[in-house]
Amino acid sequence: MCGLLGFLSADVATDEVVNQVYEALQCSRHRGPDERGTWHDDHIIYGFNRLSIVDIDHSHQPLFWGPADNPRRYVLLFNGEVYNYLELREQLLAAHGAEFGDEPMFHTEGEGEAILASYHYSGLDAIGTFRGMFAIAIWDTETKDLVLARDRFGIKPLFLATGPNGTAFANEKKNILELLPALGLSDELDVRAVEHYTVLQYVPEPETLHKNITRLESGCYATLRAGERPKVTRYFEPKFRIRPFAAGSEEARYREIAAVLEDSVAKHMRADVTVGSFLSGGIDSTAVAALAIRHNPNLLTFTSAFEREGYSEADVAAETAAAIGAKHYIRMVSPEDYAAAIPEIVWYLDDPVADPALVPLYFVAQEARKHVKVVLSGEGADELFGGYTIYREPLSLKPFEYLPKPVRRLAGKISDRIPEGKRGKSLLHRGSLTLEERYYGNARSFNDAQLRAVLRDFRPEWGAADVTAPIYARSRGWDPVARMQHLDLFTWLRGDILVKADKMTMANSLELRVPFLDLEVFEIAERIPFDQKITPETTKYALRRALETIVPPHVLHRPKLGFPVPLRHWLRGPELYDWAATQIAESQTDHLLNKQAVKAMLDAHRRGEGDHSRRIWTVLIFMIWHGIFVEDRIKPEIAQPTYPVRL
């Protein structure tokens, strides 16, 4: 887990650009405070901030490896973990070790050399063999080819910018913002991405809020040479295909799910430092912690909480920790903590994400970093096993499928005449729509009328369908729950869930690992039929059955709560109303937003005229982002990380 930064020059890399790259590396110091490494030749410049997790005393980066006749042919920058690196090393030694004669094939004990050797012998096909989370850059000093790759699900970020003077790539968008002038590019805002953000509460891949900076998408690699634009290829497409399990019985299916999850957790425990676990009151993080403690009896677990009743899972998490035998830590978060941390959190985010759970995650990561260097977490279980309540909607809307289209449309017109908040309005409205029309992921914030009021330049064609239509096109013929899961893997998961997980933990120089988002776990999950994911009574049915002997009974059938935040209460009261009003008044976003409409929405929320908290929060986070990255008006105080190399 580290911070990488590179610059492939369209011509010869000048000393001036070399210095600019090294200075820009400071922006990602929090991703790797243990060690800094730099290297360059006439074409490419590499910079690296290391968070030492595996093979701490060796495996320095940039890392070199090559065949016996050219042992420094390849140069690696690598952020993340390849959990099957030990198996890869054994396979490579068995197949090719003799070529090295008396010289060792590997000089370190980490995964870096396994990545390079796999690439040398298998080419780009090697990327599909890596089981883990990663952003990778491989420079071939012989052919002058650069390969950039990102893991299957988008756990680790990788930003790109290509201009007339070259291509820059980094884990942090801030790094590339520093280098835009060197690339010959402007920092122009992408107003289409602004609208996408306002609709979805995050910026969907591959966009960013800056027109000249994009993201390499999850499950993709890019190849390029000096003076060329990256050529992007998708190597992994998550498809939900119902296929038989190893044995016919349902009990065998549940045993298979439990076994593959246990294997994934075991591999995610591989580290030369202490590994802890986040723990909420839900089944996902509980399953991970309960399996992890089998490999580390001294497991430490961590949760965050608010003092307001109904917005804390601290008691349940503490009960779970006691049941599995873990030592547990709780970080309480006050409204004052919450508001004070927002500018710093938005700076770490790079692009805005309007998920209120970012803040408690930031604070629990801060607490965990006092005790451990790596934590496990339960992200991805909902998308793979069918955990969101909204996935049950196809069951409740099933009767509408039998109605002729004109009748369904009539139901929609009737719903338009029903007052807001009245029973049946939402059911009629959503029942009148197709899946593609009504579902654009777990983030649902503004409707078109509200967007038209808030955005200065609202374009209906830039709405959610602009993002979701190409994804839906790839899942035609699947059952509706599988289509919703597939959409969320490409939108909500990698746009919100994994961004906040990566950014909030790395802000505290803490590595987060997600055992559910593992290739072999997915290959089990993709085979689960509709009725084993969603039932009228519950979600994640097959997973719950698989975890009956692993998860304590008090958690097994609890409804999903996550990291709840009392935002709607705070925005109505003294905790956050004045703070929010100040942000609106001081923001210099009048050319993008109707600030009067935003303030009116805040006041209506304060008076109890509907719950506008998520919409208000979406706009507030954007205003703060704009104040930091565009106006240069808000200047968060970012402390230099000072963590020990070992914990």
Residue range 342-398, pLDDT digits in tens: 999 999 999 999 999 999 999 999 999 999 999 999 999 999 999 999 999 999 998
On the question of pLDDT at 94 being above 80, the answer is yes
On whether both 100 and 160 belong to a single domain, the answer is yes
Domain range spanning residue 282?
250-387+497-556
Of the chain, the percentage scoring pLDDT greater than 90 comes to 82
pLDDT in the model for residue 33? 93
Q: Would you say residue 323 lies in a domain?
A: yes
Tokens of 498: 């994994």
Place of tokens 């998920």: 355
Average pLDDT over residues 504-527: 96
On whether both 573 and 546 belong to a single domain, the answer is no
Q: How far apart are CA 5 and CA 160, in angstroms?
A: 10
Q: Which amino acid is at 536?
A: P
The dihedral of CA 447, 449, 452, 458: what is its sign? positive
Per DSSP, the three-state class of 38 is: strand
CA distance to 18, 241, 277, per residue, from 43 (Å): 10, 44, 42
Domain count for the chain: 4
Q: Would you say residue 646 lies in a domain?
A: no
Supply the CATH number for residue 257's domain.
3.40.50.620
Write the CB contacts of 479 (distance below 8 Å, at least 6 apart in sequence): 394, 530
Query: Whole-structure pTM over 0.75, yes or no?
Result: yes
Q: Would you say residue 561 lies in a domain?
A: no
pLDDT in the model for residue 44? 97
pLDDT in the model for residue 247? 58
CA distance to 129, 183, 261, 547, 581, per residue, from 524 (Å): 17, 44, 9, 14, 49
Average pLDDT over residues 414-423: 82
Q: How far apart are CA 97 and CA 621, in angstroms?
A: 53
Q: Would you say residue 647 lies in a domain?
A: no
On whether both 27 and 174 belong to a single domain, the answer is yes
On whether both 20 and 169 belong to a single domain, the answer is yes
On whether both 319 and 362 belong to a single domain, the answer is yes
On whether both 595 and 535 belong to a single domain, the answer is no
pLDDT in the model for residue 412? 83
Burial 569-591 (b: 16+ CB within 10 A, else e): bbbbeebbbebbbebbeebebee
Question: Could you tell me the pLDDT band of residue 419, with boundaries at 50, 70 and 90?
Answer: confident
Tokens of 445: 């914030």
Pairing verdict, β 374-376 and 511-513:
parallel
Question: Could you tell me the pLDDT band of residue 250, with boundaries at 50, 70 and 90?
Answer: confident
Q: Are 443 and 198 in contact (CB under 8 A)?
A: no
The dihedral of CA 622, 624, 628, 632: what is its sign? positive
Question: Could you tell me the pLDDT band of residue 15, with boundaries at 50, 70 and 90?
Answer: very high
Per DSSP, the three-state class of 15 is: helix
pLDDT in the model for residue 1? 57
Ranges 377-386, 428-437, 494-503, 629-638: which has the least confidence: 428-437
Q: Which amino acid is at 307?
A: E
Q: How far apart are CA 624 and CA 633, in angstroms?
A: 9
pLDDT in the model for residue 244? 67
Average pLDDT over residues 544-556: 94
Q: Are 439 and 168 in contact (CB under 8 A)?
A: no
On whether both 597 and 533 belong to a single domain, the answer is no
pLDDT in the model for residue 208? 98
Asked which of 234, 260, 288 is the last residue of a domain, the reply is: 234
Supply the CATH number for residue 107's domain.
3.60.20.10
Q: How far apart are CA 243 and CA 522, in angstroms?
A: 13
Q: Would you say residue 453 lies in a domain?
A: no
Tell me the average pLDDT of the chain: 93
On whether both 376 and 400 belong to a single domain, the answer is no
On the question of pLDDT at 509 being above 60, the answer is yes
Q: Does a cis peptide bond (omega within 30 degrees of 0) precede residue 104?
A: no
On whether both 396 and 305 belong to a single domain, the answer is no
Write the CB contacts of 57 (distance below 8 Å, at least 6 apart in sequence): none
pLDDT in the model for residue 246? 60
pLDDT in the model for residue 385? 97
CB atoms within 10 A of CB 322: 12
On whether both 376 and 406 belong to a single domain, the answer is no
Ranges 333-337, 356-360, 458-462, 554-558: which has the least confidence: 554-558
On whether both 356 and 483 belong to a single domain, the answer is no
Q: Are 208 and 198 in contact (CB under 8 A)?
A: no
Q: 50-54, 188-192, 414-418: which has the highest mean pLDDT?
A: 188-192
CA distance to 432, 488, 595, per residue, from 382 (Å): 26, 10, 36
Ranges 70-74, 191-195, 464-468, 595-599: which has the least confidence: 464-468
Tokens of 416: 């338009």
Burial 270-305 (b: 16+ CB within 10 A, else e): bbbbbbbbbbbbbbbbbbbbbbbbeeeeebbbbbbb
CB atoms within 10 A of CB 241: 9
Q: How far apart are CA 322 and CA 143, in angstroms?
A: 57
Catalytic site positions: 2
Ranges 116-125, 264-273, 278-287, 554-563: which has the least confidence: 554-563
On whether both 322 and 408 belong to a single domain, the answer is no
* β-bridge mates for residue 79, sequence order: 135
pLDDT in the model for residue 307? 79
